[in-house]
């Protein structure tokens, strides 16, 4: 059994979560569930990023105290994760006391080491992105390089973290570990950035007269800590850094940190350097997925083109939404969101291929054998054998690579084999000709095939997997586990339910 520590970004609470936030957490949930059914000991962390002027202003706009505002937004996020079946183990808030203490301690360690100093700062600030840019960067992008909006010039005293001191270390570390930043296109982006730019020291404080809502800068109460420096430290504060050594050593380094490609530099440059300076190992993998877009535009709260995941759950159900997000676009690439594509996916893959198969087979089991099918002749059909063999060989490899589209393809190939088997064997003829043994073998094969499929799809659609197993008369808590994907002799006692995925009519 290995440990598996997985993290999502901490989302800003200045607005409600949209489909992009849902996407990252569904990816992490799928990986966490896969690791659990593989028998690993998983720690899955998510949470909220609650400091900074952007959040204070959002609270002011709602005429409420910032404390009330962040508390109410946190419930909105938790409610969404609950509805999306996100099985996180811990929800961290950057306003948690233990986190604030860790940030203070980390800064003190870096100060004592000589990695933090005070100096005059001149820069260009983008409030929506909570990011500072140099004059050259702003000129080149004609505004904020991330969101293209206007920026504010700022000159003030501040504290700096010596990123530059670690530049050559980072370059050689990343050269040695070309698989740390994934997919490869993001690794190349980061290496290209490091090759073409000299790293400047990072301004990690904000004067309180300008930014009042944040963690007090240790030993200088005129300042608060820069939100990114505060938020990145969550990944170690959540697992006991400088508080619970045993726990921390058993979980750190994180095995995979999922982010969107928008925040790759913070995670692939600032974060490993912060860790190195603190004497800690970088995470094993930083995986940046692509963006959901509408047309050419990234879906984003500041653009106002958001798609509300709660409405999609209401309309299509949580399993269909999870399936769509994980199947439609290879993780790492951008995807275009449209109702048409989600409906097509549901009707073809879920209602037709999977839902119909389960419904028909359970119906036949009910009709021909009153729902009780024992093993009889348990020889696995040849076509099942080769397809399942391939699936069991490929599944874990694809899942470990976060290649969900290929993992689902392999599962759906087997579903295709089962559907073809029904068409070829023509059970209604076996019934007419009273070939009971053959009919039983046929149904047992399909039930066993469906049972195995339900385990493979569990990380993607846990509810569907559980519902199938219950309809097969099995106990999900006991039967979901990758050790159970082997073909076995057993007796099924069917408890047929409703169709899993009703077809969606399109006008």
Site residues (CB under 6 A) for ligand ME8?
9-12, 20-21, 23-24, 49, 231-232, 234, 259-260, 262-263, 291-292, 298-300
For 257-275, b/e burial (b = at least 16 CB within 10 A) is bbbbbbbbbbbbbbbbbbb
- Min CB(29)–ligand ME8 separation in Å: 13
- Min CB(53)–ligand ME8 separation in Å: 13
The encoded tokens of residue 478 equal: 């006991």
- Min CB(182)–ligand ME8 separation in Å: 14
The smaller minimum CB distance to ligand ME8, of residues 260 and 381, is found at 260
Closest CA to 110 of 291, 11, 268, 232: 232
Alpha helices in 38-96 (DSSP H): 53-61, 66-83
The smaller minimum CB distance to ligand ME8, of residues 23 and 166, is found at 23
The smaller minimum CB distance to ligand ME8, of residues 292 and 323, is found at 292
**Cα separation, 203 vs 117, whole angstroms:** 10
Kind and range of the H or E run holding 46:
strand 41-49
The smaller minimum CB distance to ligand ME8, of residues 128 and 143, is found at 128
**Cα separation, 73 vs 23, whole angstroms:** 18
The smaller minimum CB distance to ligand ME8, of residues 272 and 427, is found at 272
- Min CB(25)–ligand ME8 separation in Å: 8
Closest CA to 215 of 105, 130, 132, 308: 105
- The pairing of strands 3-12 and 256-260 is parallel
The smaller minimum CB distance to ligand ME8, of residues 234 and 237, is found at 234
The smaller minimum CB distance to ligand ME8, of residues 19 and 447, is found at 19
- Min CB(435)–ligand ME8 separation in Å: 53
- Min CB(306)–ligand ME8 separation in Å: 9
**Whether the Cβ atoms of residue 325 and residue 459 lie closer than 8 Å to each other:** no
- Min CB(480)–ligand ME8 separation in Å: 28
The smaller minimum CB distance to ligand ME8, of residues 20 and 355, is found at 20
- Min CB(197)–ligand ME8 separation in Å: 21
- The pairing of strands 335-336 and 292-294 is parallel
**Whether the Cβ atoms of residue 405 and residue 329 lie closer than 8 Å to each other:** yes
Kind and range of the H or E run holding 3:
strand 3-12
Closest CA to 81 of 310, 238, 259, 237: 310
In the chain, the N- to C-terminal Cα span, in Å, equals: 51
**Cα separation, 119 vs 123, whole angstroms:** 13
Residue 483 burial (10 A CB sphere; 0-12, 13-18, 19+): exposed
- Min CB(374)–ligand ME8 separation in Å: 48
CA angle 325/326/327 to nearest 5° reads: 100
**Cα separation, 7 vs 31, whole angstroms:** 11
- Min CB(495)–ligand ME8 separation in Å: 39
- Min CB(74)–ligand ME8 separation in Å: 13
CA 317 to chain CA centroid, Å, is 19
**Cα separation, 423 vs 432, whole angstroms:** 16
Residue 132 burial (10 A CB sphere; 0-12, 13-18, 19+): buried
**Whether the Cβ atoms of residue 472 and residue 451 lie closer than 8 Å to each other:** yes
- Min CB(248)–ligand ME8 separation in Å: 18
Coil, strand, or helix at residue 293?
Answer: strand
The smaller minimum CB distance to ligand ME8, of residues 17 and 381, is found at 17
């Amino acid at each position: 059994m290995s440990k598996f520590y997985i993290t999502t970004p901490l989302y800003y609470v200045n607005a409600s979560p949209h489909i992009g936030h849902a996407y990252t957490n569904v990816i992490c949930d799928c990986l966490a569930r896969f690791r659990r059914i593989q028998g690993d000991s998983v720690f899955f962390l998510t949470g909220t990023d609650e400091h900074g002027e952007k959040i204070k202003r959002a609270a002011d706009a709602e005429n409420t105290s910032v404390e009330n505002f962040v508390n109410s937004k946190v419930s909105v996020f938790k409610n969404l994760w609950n509805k999306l079946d996100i099985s996180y183990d811990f929800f961290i808030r950057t306003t948690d006391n233990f986190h604030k203490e860790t940030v203070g301690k980390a800064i003190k360690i870096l100060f004592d080491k000589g990695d933090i100093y005070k100096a005059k700062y001149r820069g260009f600030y983008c409030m929506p992105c909570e990011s500072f840019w140099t004059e050259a960067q702003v000129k080149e992008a004609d505004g904020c390089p991330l969101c293209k909006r206007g920026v504010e010039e700022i000159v003030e005293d501040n504290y700096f973290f010596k990123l530059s001191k670690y530049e050559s270390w980072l370059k050689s570390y990343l050269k040695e570990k070309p698989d740390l930043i994934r997919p490869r296109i993001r690794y190349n982006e980061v290496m290209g950035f490091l090759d073409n730019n000299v790293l400047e020291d990072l301004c990690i404080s904000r004067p309180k007269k300008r930014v009042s809502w944040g963690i007090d800068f240790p030993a200088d109460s005129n300042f608060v800590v820069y939100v990114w420096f505060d938020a990145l430290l969550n990944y170690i504060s959540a697992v006991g850094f400088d508080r619970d050594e045993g726990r921390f050593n058993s979980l750190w380094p994180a095995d995979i940190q999922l982010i969107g490609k928008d925040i790759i530099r913070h995670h692939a440059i600032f974060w490993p350097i912060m860790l190195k300076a603190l004497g800690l190992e970088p995470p094993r993998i930083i995986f940046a997925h692509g963006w959901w877009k509408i047309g050419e535009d990234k879906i984003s709260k500041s653009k106002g083109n958001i798609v509300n995941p709660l409405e999609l759950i209401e309309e299509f159900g949580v399993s269909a939404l999870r399936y769509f997000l994980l199947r439609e676009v290879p993780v790492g690439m951008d995807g275009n969101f449209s109702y048409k594509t989600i409906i097509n996916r549901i009707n073809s893959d879920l209602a037709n291929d999977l839902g119909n198969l389960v419904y028909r087979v359970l119906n036949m089991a009910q009709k021909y054998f009153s729902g009780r099918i024992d093993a009889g002749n348990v020889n696995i059909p040849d076509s099942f054998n080769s397809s399942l063999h391939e699936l069991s060989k490929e599944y874990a490899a694809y899942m470990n690579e976060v290649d969900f589209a290929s993992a689902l393809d392999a599962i759906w190939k087997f579903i295709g084999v089962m559907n073809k088997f029904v068409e070829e064997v023509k059970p209604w003829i076996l019934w007419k000709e009273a070939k009971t043994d053959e009919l039983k073998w046929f149904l047992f094969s399909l039930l066993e095939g469906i049972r195995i499929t339900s385990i493979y799809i569990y990380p993607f659609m846990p509810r569907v997997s559980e519902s199938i197993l219950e309809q097969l008369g099995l106990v999900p808590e006991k039967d979901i586990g990758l050790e159970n994907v082997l073909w076995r002799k057993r007796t099924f006692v069917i408890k047929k339910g409703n169709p899993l995925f009703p077809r969606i009519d399109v006008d």
